[in-house]
């Protein structure tokens, strides 16, 4: 497994991380049935009893392994080891002993899952220094058993990860194993100030990609950059109707269209829908930040057009469709309806991305001060959106 991790990183991980991976064995945290990507957008099961060799090979591959499905969708997984290493490095947990993020650092992990990552944290900083929070009590109990069997004894808490765990703070490191669209205020209040680190995968309604690494300053301030790796499941919440405070890129809850939504307006565009939703993660990441709440889906059924891009904001009931007629890619038909002209917003965001020099994810950053978040490119003050 570490050979594959080394290939992904372009070199070996630090000695402390290698030792942790040798001590905490991944297979001990996996159930008897896991699911692998099948290459067609789905998953195929692998049973340890029926195919032990394939199961063992998967356990030590550098691949994400789904460990649980809920309502037909993956709801828990074992992350790619190379992604785990990258996040631990961003958190400073590969640093030498004696550093604030080294051995003896207090770590809050959010999203226990199988318990594997918590086990690695125990090997790095010590059992008594690790607190891990899991929303699902069944998963928490299973993780605790896995950890115990591996000789690890962190504090395992059943709770809402958005609230952190104040009794164990302040923490030198807050590390999430799921993606968010904003940084919960509780995390900022529980990380050591100054110098504590928060590392969390990122998501927007448009694009789930990237990892944010923040360093806490004084008086509730934090600042850091995004990094171009990781695509994690989004943070689960105990109550889907719980109100949220909107933040940059916040993913809104689903609801019906507002009354008084504007009638559909038809036009055309020269911006290709594939330019903004065709797999260019840099462009999609930017649009996710610049057009919060907007999501997309492709329709290739041919019912309305040979290919249609649907753009939606469920909070306002706004929608846009962009149709390719199967002949000319010079212009596309656009229909927009609702309070937001979503395709106009997407177009403005894409032009701003071009104006900024088509920046990659690593050029973006986030500053938080007194509860207000500012997204920027290259340095604070260079706005993601056009002024």
Q: Which two tokens stand for residue 201?
A: 């995968």
Average pLDDT over residues 113-126: 96
Cα–Cα dist 206/292, whole Å: 8
pLDDT at 246: 37
pLDDT (tens digit per residue) in 185-206: 999 999 999 999 999 999 999 9
pLDDT (tens digit per residue) in 196-255: 999 999 999 999 999 999 999 987 899 999 999 888 888 887 865 544 433 443 333 333
Look up the pTM and report it: 0.88
β-bridge partners, 377:
364
Query: What rounded mean pLDDT belongs to the chain?
Result: 89
pLDDT over threshold 90, residue 292: yes
pLDDT at 376: 97
- Which CATH number applies to 265-355? 3.30.310
Region(s) of the chain under CATH 3.30.310: 265-355
pLDDT at 103: 61
pLDDT at 256: 31
Please give the residue that has the higher pLDDT: either 230 or 112.
Answer: 112
Non-local (6+) Cβ contacts of 354 within 8 A are none
Q: Say which CATH architecture domain 2-67+76-227 belongs to.
A: 3-Layer(aba) Sandwich (3.40)
Please give the residue that has the higher pLDDT: either 32 or 5.
Answer: 32
pLDDT over threshold 60, residue 259: no
pLDDT at 100: 57
- Provide the annotated active-site residues: 79
**Which is it for the CA torsion 322, 324, 325, 331, positive or negative?**
positive
pLDDT at 260: 38
Region(s) of the chain under CATH 3.40.50.150: 2-67+76-227
pLDDT at 55: 96
Q: Which two tokens stand for residue 242?
A: 């719980």
Cα–Cα dist 305/324, whole Å: 7
pLDDT over threshold 90, residue 96: no
Average pLDDT over residues 261-270: 75
How many CB atoms are closer than 10 A to CB 223? Answer: 16
pLDDT at 221: 93
What percent of the chain clears pLDDT 70, i.e. is strictly above it? 91
37-46, 68-77, 89-98, 219-228: the lowest-pLDDT one:
89-98
Half-sphere exposure of 78 (CA within 13 A, CB side): 26
How many CB atoms are closer than 10 A to CB 189? Answer: 14
Q: Which two tokens stand for residue 332?
A: 């596309």
């Amino acid at each position: 497994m570490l050979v594959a991790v080394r290939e992904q990183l372009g070199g070996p991980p630090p000695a402390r991380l290698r030792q942790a991976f040798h001590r905490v064995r991944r297979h001990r945290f996996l159930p008897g049935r896991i699911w692998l990507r099948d290459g067609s957008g789905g998953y195929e099961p692998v049973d340890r009893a029926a195919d032990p060799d394939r199961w063992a090979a998967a356990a030590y591959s550098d691949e994400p392994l789904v460990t649980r499905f809920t309502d037909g969708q993956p709801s828990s997984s074992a992350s790619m080891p190379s992604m785990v290493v990258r996040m631990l490095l961003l958190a400073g947990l590969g640093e030498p002993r004696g550093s604030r993020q080294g051995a003896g650092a207090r770590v809050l992990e959010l999203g226990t899952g199988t318990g594997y990552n918590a086990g690695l944290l125990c090997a790095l900083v010590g059992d008594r220094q690790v607190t891990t929070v899991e929303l699902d009590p069944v998963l928490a109990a299973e993780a605790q058993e896995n950890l115990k069997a591996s000789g690890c004894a962190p504090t395992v808490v059943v709770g809402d990860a958005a609230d952190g765990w104040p009794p164990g703070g302040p923490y030198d490191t807050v590390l999430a194993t799921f993606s968010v669209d904003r940084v919960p205020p509780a995390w900022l209040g529980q990380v050591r100030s100054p110098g504590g680190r928060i590392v969390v995968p990122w998501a927007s309604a448009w694009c789930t990609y990237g990892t944010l690494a923040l360093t806490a300053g004084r008086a509730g301030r934090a600042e850091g950059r995004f990094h171009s790796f990781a695509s994690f499941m989004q943070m689960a919440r105990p109550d889907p109707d719980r109100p949220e405070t909107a933040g940059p890129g916040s993913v809104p809850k689903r609801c019906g269209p507002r009354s008084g939504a504007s009638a559909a307006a038809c036009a055309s565009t020269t911006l290709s829908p594939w330019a903004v939703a065709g797999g260019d993660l840099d462009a999609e990441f930017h649009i996710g930040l610049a057009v919060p709440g907007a999501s997309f889906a492709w329709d290739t059924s041919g019912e309305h057009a040979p290919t249609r891009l649907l753009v939606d904001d469920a909070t306002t009931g706004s929608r846009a469709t962009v149709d390719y007629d199967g002949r000319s890619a010079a212009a596309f038909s656009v229909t927009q309806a609702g309070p937001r002209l979503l395709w106009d917003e997407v177009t403005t965001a894409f032009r701003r991305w071009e104006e900024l020099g088509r920046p990659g994810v690593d050029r973006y950053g986030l500053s938080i001060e007194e509860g207000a978040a500012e997204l920027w490119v290259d340095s604070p003050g260079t706005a993601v959106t056009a002024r």
